[in-house]
Chain A
């Protein structure tokens, strides 16, 4: 399967999940929000069910002989820890991530989500430029 077909098919499944969750559960498929909700004061069963489904696909992939990508395994502890912390802070502050603002917000024709998407893609692009082409943070 070519990368174009993988992208379109995988993307359609992600969209179908987001459509199903808003139609049948009345909930937004924003992973940072679901994860933050599940680990804060009043967790809800549906949040943990959704997260368990997500994690289960990784377990199934691993058992079927598809381990995590090398680009994950090669990262240092400190890079993963710093990146995770920044993603947690940023997504809570802005109220969404690639799924909440990216998929669901754009599907809802939200200018607010469009601003978030342009901002996080732009900043992430600058970070990749700085690390890959300017050699910054090479030790991290």
Chain B
């Protein structure tokens, strides 16, 4: 069962990556064009996210209502209503990096497979940034979002 779940996780990783490649979200130019409302605005990212949300929503509705996944194993989904300073401050800091590069975590891992030298810089820095928060949390500094 565990081996099977590792296999399905790998397949869903491939599916996610193919979706990012087909939708052009691995191209920072297309992402930045969505964010450039005052320039040659390209709404493609909103279509990608909208389609993804519509397809994923029934699965989430099922798990949220039943409290279990399709195999009957319990799933605890994250709190949906806690809106606090770490959430907003963290999202703002993420937005700074996203707007600077046009890269977010998913696409950065796909492009890591295309250009390890360039994307590697971003991914290593991303992991270091995540570590800094994890270390700080361990000493009780920033509360969880």
Contacts and interface: CB of A to CB of B under 8 A. Distances in A.
A93 interface: yes
A121 B12 CA distance: 26
A42 to B, nearest CB: 11
B22 to A, nearest CB: 4
Interface string A91-134: 11111011101111111111111011101111111111101110
Q: Label chain B's interface by main secondary structure.
A: helix
A24 interface: yes
B121 A80 contact: yes
Size band of the interface chain A makes with B:
35 or more
A53 B35 CA distance: 28
B30 to A, nearest CB: 8
A138 interface: no
Contacts of B45: 7
Interface of B: 2, 5-29, 32, 35-39, 42, 44-45, 47-64, 68-71, 73-75, 77-83, 86-106, 108-115, 118-119, 121-134, 142, 144-145
Interface string A77-100: 101111111111111111101110
Given A86-B96, A111-B80, A14 B20 contact: yes
Given A85-B97, A85-B129, A49 B9 contact: yes
Which 4 pairs of residues, A with B, have the shortest CB-CB distance?
A: A88-B129, A53-B13, A58-B113, A10-B23
A31 B12 contact: no
Contacts of A119: 88, 91-92, 95
B122 A81 contact: yes
Nearest to B25: A10
Interface in A38-56: 39-40, 45-47, 49-56
